[in-house]
Amino acid sequence: MDKIDTIKVPKRLPRPAKAADVAKVPGTICSRRPRKDLPLDRLRDRVLFETAYVCGARAAEVCGLYVEDLDLRLDDEHLRIHGKGGTVRTVLLDDKVADAEIRAADAETGRPADPNLTVG
Q: Which domains does the chain have, with CATH numbers?
A: 19-109 (1.10.443.10)
pLDDT of residue 118: 42
Question: Is pLDDT of 120 > 50?
Answer: no
Residue 6 has pLDDT above 70, yes or no: yes
List, for residues 51-109, the tens digit of each pLDDT value: 888 888 998 999 888 888 988 887 788 889 999 888 999 998 876 656 666 776 676 66
User: What global pTM score does this model have?
Assistant: 0.62
What single DSSP character describes residue 90?
A: E
Alpha-carbon distance 104 to 94, whole Å? Answer: 16
Strands (E), 55-97: 70-71, 78-82, 88-92
Q: Which of 32, 37, 68, 36 is nearest to 49 (CA)?
A: 32
Mean local confidence (pLDDT), 11-38: 81
Q: CA 33 → CA 9, 37, 53, 74, 100, distances in Å?
A: 47, 12, 19, 23, 11
